Amino acid sequence: MKIYTVCGMGFGTSLMVKMTIDDILKEIGEKANVEAIDMGSAKGLSADLFVTSNDMKGSFPSVDAPVIYLNNMVDKAEIKEKVTCFFEA
């Protein structure tokens, strides 16, 4: 399982989302390799899931995996709800 968290530069919010997802995966007993990247690097990458901000919706490259768009990149409750939903699907 590979998850990419994506923001404009790859070491601000995407890192915070990565750390949050790492915590959540422990809580729900799932395993995945989570990596923070910048949007320019997302194109052409293969993964099981991408997680990014609602703000990126218009410009996010087309990828062959589900994309979670977050309203609030630092809200653990929203991230947990959406990531848990992905694992239950």
Q: In the complex, which residues of this chain contact another protein (CB under 8 A)?
A: 7-9, 11-13, 15-16, 19-20, 53, 55-56, 71-76
- Token representation of residue 43: 């194109």
- State in angstroms the smallest separation of the CB of 15 from another protein: 6
Ranges of H-type helices in the chain = 13-28, 39-42, 76-88
Shorter beta-carbon distance to another protein: residue 7 or 51: 7
Q: Which residue in the block uniquely carries the two structure tokens 């790859």? A: 10
Query: Of 10, 17, 16, 12, whose CA–CA distance to 68 is shortest?
Result: 17
Q: Minimum CB separation from another protein for residue 12, in Å? A: 5
User: Which of 3, 6, 7, 73 is an active site residue?
Assistant: 7
Residues acting as catalytic residues: 7
